[in-house]
């Protein structure tokens, strides 16, 4: 009886009997309802809904079926199972790059995409539409009387000086289950040697591992954690009002900037409408009211330039290195 119940849920969630797991499905049909764009995305629906509604206001004839899934499931759905989607949106840049490199994406170009900076497009296949820095979120209460670290070196020495204060009170991604966490960690390891010392220190202090940014921010706000390392900045920024006791620190040595990207899978049945959506996403900069609603920072070289430490993670084959089977194994072992 219980098995049947679970099966019913799975069937309800995945009517086509997919092997990949989805987290949610939301329909935004239109009155005319001629075309329905199937979007698979790693973003929570409440983050993305304002974009869908604004998009449909401009394009009332395009209905939208929004399926949220984790980045690895998204990858599996498209590369292994040939699932039919018109648009794949993910924050896992490495997986998106692999999809494009392995030939699962189709090219698209328009005036809007060519107005994007060079680092935000790869091969007319992947289009970035947000720039989200990885930040340190600290609890103001825990840091009362202590200097807030501005670099990783500062952080390491702080942790070494006050081990008792931070024991079991540091949160970071579990790189084994979080795509974004793995991406940030691999970029960290590439950018500086201090990363390995930092992980070592954090490991000794019994750091807590999380699957998502939301939980980490919540625990920092509640005081359970003194700080959370490598949190997606946009999530933290959107929670500032909700949790007044937290503070966002952007490191000055370097700050990885993750790009949320969209691509049109080769299986797409409405590639033209997908292009309309990509154009809409690429021009988010011109819709400040909308981006305020979603708290997704649009692509803006000017905003990026405000902090010299900002380093957008470069799209391209370099990202494939960390997806290498052996490499990933080695990295996780370390």
Partner 1 sequence: MIRPFAQSSIRRRLAVQLSLIAAILSLAFYLIVRAVAGQAATDTQDNILAASATSIADALYAEQGGVVLELPYSALSMLGSISQDRVFYRVIVDGETLTGYADLPPPEPDFATYAYRGEPVRAVAVRRVISSGGQAVEATVIVAQTRLGLAAISSSISSTAAAVGIGFFLFATALGLLAAQSALAPLNRLAQSVKRRGPHDLRPVKAETPSEMLPLVAALNNFMARLKASLSQSEDFVAEAAHRVRTPLTIVRTQAEVALRRLEKPDDKKAVRAMIRAVDECSRSAGQLLDHAMVAFRTENLLTDKLDLGDLTSEVCSHLTPTAGLKDIIIRHDLPTTPQPFTGDPILLQSALRNILDNAIKYSPADSEISVSFGGDTAYEIAFSDQGRGFGCADASSLKKRYSRGINVGDVVGSGLGLTIAEAVARAHGGKIDIRENKEGIGACVLLILPR
Residue ranges that bind partner 1, judged by CB under 8 A? 100-103, 122-123, 190, 314, 316-318, 320-322, 324-327, 330
- Closer of 43 and 313 to partner 1 (Cβ): 313
Closest separation between CB of residue 251 and partner 1, Å?
Answer: 20
Closest CA to 84 of 166, 151, 16, 131: 16
SS3 call for 292: helix
Residue with tokens 């080769």: 266
Task: Determine contact, residues 121/282, Cβ cutoff 8 Å.
Answer: no
- Closer of 103 and 117 to partner 1 (Cβ): 103
DSSP-assigned states of every residue in 143-170? TTTSPPP-SHHHHHHHHHH-HHHHTT-E
SS3 call for 91: coil
In degrees, rounded to 5, the angle at the alpha carbon of residue 74 between the alpha carbons of residues 329 and 66 is 155
- Closer of 214 and 316 to partner 1 (Cβ): 316
- Closer of 105 and 170 to partner 1 (Cβ): 105
Closest separation between CB of residue 122 and partner 1, Å?
Answer: 6
Task: Determine contact, residues 269/84, Cβ cutoff 8 Å.
Answer: yes
Query: Considering just the CA atoms, what is the radius of gyration of the chain in Å?
Result: 20
Closest separation between CB of residue 54 and partner 1, Å?
Answer: 30
Closest separation between CB of residue 107 and partner 1, Å?
Answer: 10
- Closer of 119 and 210 to partner 1 (Cβ): 119
Closest separation between CB of residue 278 and partner 1, Å?
Answer: 17
- Closer of 125 and 220 to partner 1 (Cβ): 125
Closest separation between CB of residue 18 and partner 1, Å?
Answer: 24
Residue 315 CB: number of other CB atoms within 10 A?
Answer: 24
- Using CA atoms in the order 208, 211, 214, 217, what is the torsion angle rounded to 10 degrees? 10
- Closer of 206 and 330 to partner 1 (Cβ): 330
Output the CA–CA distances (angstroms, integers) from residue 241 to 68, 236, 246, 271, in the order listed.
26, 10, 9, 39
Q: What are 79's two structure tokens?
A: 């590369």
Quote the CA–CA distance of 99 and 111 in Å, as a whole number.
24
Closest separation between CB of residue 193 and partner 1, Å?
Answer: 14
């Amino acid at each position: 009886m219980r098995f049947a119940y679970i099966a019913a849920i799975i069937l309800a969630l995945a009517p086509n009997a997919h092997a990949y797991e989805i987290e949610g499905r939301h329909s935004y049909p239109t009155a005319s309802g001629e075309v329905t764009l199937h979007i698979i995305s790693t973003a929570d629906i409440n983050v993305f809904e304002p974009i869908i509604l604004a998009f449909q206001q401009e394009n009332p004839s395009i209905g939208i079926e929004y399926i949220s899934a984790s980045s690895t499931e998204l990858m599996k759905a498209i590369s292994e199972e040939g699932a039919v989607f018109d648009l794949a949106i993910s924050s896992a840049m490495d997986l998106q790059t692999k999809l494009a490199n392995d030939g699962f994406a189709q090219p698209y170009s328009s005036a809007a995409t060519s107005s994007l900076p060079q680092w935000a497009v790869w091969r007319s296949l992947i289009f970035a539409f947000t720039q989200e820095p990885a930040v340190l979120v600290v609890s103001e209460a825990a840091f009362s009387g202590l200097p807030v670290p501005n670099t990783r070196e500062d952080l390491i020495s702080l942790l070494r000086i006050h081990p008792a204060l931070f024991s079991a009170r540091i949160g970071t991604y579990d790189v084994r289950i979080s795509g974004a966490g793995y991406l940030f960690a691999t970029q960290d390891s590439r950018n500086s040697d201090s990363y390995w010392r930092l992980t070592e220190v954090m490991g000794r202090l019994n750091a807590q591992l999380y699957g998502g940014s939301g939980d980490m921010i919540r625990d920092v706000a509640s005081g359970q954690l003194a700080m959370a390392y490598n949190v997606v900045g946009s999530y933290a920024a959107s929670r500032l009002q909700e949790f007044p006791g937290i503070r966002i620190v952007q490191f000055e040595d370097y700050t990885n900037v993750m790009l949320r990207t969209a691509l049109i899978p080769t299986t797409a049945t409405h590639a033209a409408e997908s292009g309309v959506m990509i154009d809409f996403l690429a021009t988010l900069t011109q819709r400040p009211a909308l981006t305020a609603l979603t708290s997704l920072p649009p692509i803006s070289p000017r905003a990026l330039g405000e902090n010299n430490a900002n380093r957008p993670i470069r799209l391209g084959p370099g990202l494939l290195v960390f997806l290498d089977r052996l490499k990933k194994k080695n990295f996780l072992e370390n």
